[in-house]
Chains A and B, each alone.
Chain A
Amino acid sequence: MSKTSEPTRTRYFITFTKEGALRYCGQLDLQRTFERTFRRARLPIAYSQGFHPHPKMNLGAALPLGIISRCEVADVWLEEPRPLKSIVDLLQEYAPEGLRFKTARQADPKESAIQNRILSAIYHIIWPPGDLPPDLQARIETLLDAPALERERRGKTYDLRPLIESVRMRTDPDGDPCMELHVCLQPGKTGRPDEVLRAMHLDPYQPDIIRVQFILSDDEMCA
Chain B
Amino acid sequence: MSENISLSHGGGGRQTLDLIQGIFTKRFGMKDPMTDSAILAVPSAMIAFTTDSYVIDPIFFPGGNIGKLAICGTVNDLAVSGADPKYIAAAFIIEEGFGTSDLEKIASSMADQAEAAGVKIVTGDTKVVEKGQCDGLFITTTGVGILREEYAHISSAIRVRPGDRLIINGSSGNHAVTILASRRNLTFDAPLISDCAALNHMIRKVLDNNDGVHFMRDLTRGGLAAVLNELAVMTGRGITVEEDSVPVDEPVRGLCEILGFDPLAMANEGKVIVVAAPGEADKILNIMRSCPEGKDSSIIGIVTDERPGRVVLNSSTGGTRFLDMPSGIQLPRIC
A and B held together in a complex: no
Q: Which residues of A contact B (CB under 8 A)?
A: none
Q: Which residues of B contact A (CB under 8 A)?
A: none
